[in-house]
């Protein structure tokens, strides 16, 4: 009986650590609206590491526009790839 209890606790610990590691990895990533090139006028949602965010924002990508969208969705950044630019 003790062996089964120890095994079950060990298995629960391993599963908990694995799920915790997955959620930490997901928390280190963020979705942005990524401009493919100012000439193409196309943009879509990609997922990047938080550490890469500053470089993407510098060249015109948008964090706010990607809210509620999924990776691969088309997106529009006002003044960059909309019909008014």
Q: Is the pTM of this model over 0.75?
A: no
pLDDT at 79 over 50: yes
pLDDT at 51 over 90: yes
Higher-confidence residue: 72 or 84? 72
Specify the pLDDT at position 77.
85
- Provide CB contacts within 8 A for 69, sequence distance 6+: 31, 33, 45, 75
CB-CB contact of 35 with 59 (8 Å): yes
pLDDT category, 5, cuts 50, 70, 90? very low
Specify the pLDDT at position 34.
93
Specify the pLDDT at position 76.
87
pLDDT at 71 over 60: yes
């Amino acid at each position: 009986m003790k062996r089964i209890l120890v095994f079950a606790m060990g298995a629960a610990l391993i599963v908990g650590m694995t799920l915790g590691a997955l959620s930490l990895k997901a928390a280190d990533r963020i979705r942005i609206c990524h401009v493919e090139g100012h000439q193409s006028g196309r943009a879509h949602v990609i997922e990047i590491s938080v550490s890469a965010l500053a470089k993407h924002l510098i060249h015109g990508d948008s964090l706010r526009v990607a809210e509620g969208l999924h990776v691969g969705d088309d997106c529009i950044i006002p003044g960059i790839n909309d019909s008014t630019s």
